[in-house]
Structure 1
Amino acid sequence: MTDHAGTDPDAVARLRATAHPLRLRILSLLTAEAMSAAEVARALEITHANASYHLRQLHDVGELVVEGEEKIRGGVAKRYRYDATREVAERSSGVDDRVAYARATAIEVERRLRQAGRGSGASSDLEAWVPVDAWRRALDLLHEASHLLHAAARPAGTPDTVHVSLTSNAFTMTGGLEGDAARWVPGQETDR
């Protein structure tokens, strides 16, 4: 359901919850395997309390699922996992929320770049006017690449894997076709 401004409150809450560099790292970590708060804390070298807090925040907005529970020292530890196959309705969030997310992403990309290894990679930046069919095809390819890598994610240090980073941010701007004329749906036909 959308509010009077046309935004989806659930999408806004999800976007705000993920607009934090540490939470972005947690989502990436939990793409490959389910982990408890203690395991997340060890992997990211943060306190257990800090890991628990951020896991709860992400779980409360539906970004994480509880994949299981295990008994540890008389208590129960939840094992959380990030399901990247869900579509995030980012376009229904306000510009300020998307800017906050972009800032958090930029901080996380900077951290990753400082750890970049030698090897193949790609980087691109563009602001241009393109035909709608080229735009939709590019979004399909970005969507496909993102889903491919999320689905192939393995636990850290798995033999015969490469540690990678992928960040994409593509959107229509004002001044050209907008709304339904430029809207993208994964896999939609481009000949409309």
Structure 2
Amino acid sequence: MAIVSTTDPRLRALAHPVRLRMLSLLWSAPLSAAALARELGISHALASQHLRRLDAAGLVELADVRSRRGGQERRYRAVCGPWLTEQQEGQALLAESLARNLLDRVAHRAPESAGVTVDAELWVSPEDWAAACGRLHAIMTELHDAARPPHAPGTVRVGATVMAFEMTDSPPVDN
């Protein structure tokens, strides 16, 4: 529990799988809490609560306000940045959230679809590691830049989860 109290608020906001999925959806197009609720299969109130948490952490911003059915619809978009990789502290929270989303995505995998599944624990030179990290970042940036709004014509839903990091030689010491 101590890890939560010292962790960056952005990372804590991302430690919930629903908020992580919301952020992914908001990357490609501004959406309202109601649209997020429909897409994620949750209540509008819960979507609003999660959206407020992302907003308070500075991970989303108000994109526009539209008149809709006699009211105001506030649509948010993701704030682009390196928010998933810059924090060392609290990575276990993020890993847990990524793992839960990965399990959910695997349940939705299209039968006989193309994909890539890789797992590795390797020893490589620092230069090879830096080059690989650059390529992984470029691939994920390319996918994010190509993202379209949910259910846009001519698109397919894909899941991509990457968490690559340098490891220590020895296991962590328990206090």
Give me the TM-score of the superposition, normalised by structure 1.
0.79
Q: Residue 166 of structure 2 aligns with which residue?
A: 172
User: What secondary structure, in the 3-state scheme, does the structure 2 residue paired with 1:87 have?
Assistant: coil
User: What secondary structure, in the 3-state scheme, does the structure 2 residue paired with 1:50 have?
Assistant: helix
* Cα displacement string for residues 44-75 of structure 1 (whole angstroms, at most 9, x for unaligned residues): 12111101000010011111111111233454
Bigger shift: 23-32 or 47-56? Answer: 23-32
Matched, 1:36 2:32: yes
2:67 to 71, 96, 113: 71
* Distance in structure 2 (CA, Å) of the matches to 1:64 and 1:22: 14
Contact map agreement 1:14 1:62 (CA 8 A) in 2 = yes
Q: What one-letter code is carried by the residue in structure 1 that aligns with 2:167? A: M
Deviation at 1:135, TM superposition (A): 0.3
* Distance in structure 2 (CA, Å) of the matches to 1:130 and 1:122: 21
* Distance in structure 2 (CA, Å) of the matches to 1:102 and 1:77: 33
Q: What one-letter code is carried by the residue in structure 2 that aligns with 1:92? A: Q
* Distance in structure 1 (CA, Å) of the matches to 2:159 and 2:40: 16
Give me the TM-score of the superposition, normalised by structure 2.
0.86
Q: Residue 99 of structure 2 aligns with which residue?
A: 106
* % same residue: 38
* Distance in structure 1 (CA, Å) of the matches to 2:69 and 2:167: 54
CA RMSD of aligned residues (A): 2.0
Matched, 1:22 2:48: no
2:132 to 135, 138, 150: 138
Matched, 1:87 2:82: yes
* Distance in structure 2 (CA, Å) of the matches to 1:174 and 1:150: 30
Contact map agreement 1:30 1:80 (CA 8 A) in 2 = yes
* Alpha-carbon distance change, 119 to 81 in structure 1, aligned in 2, over 3 angstroms: same
Gapped regions of structure 1 (runs ≥ 5): 1-8, 177-192
Q: Residue 53 of structure 1 aligns with which residue?
A: 49
* Alpha-carbon distance change, 56 to 10 in structure 1, aligned in 2, over 3 angstroms: farther
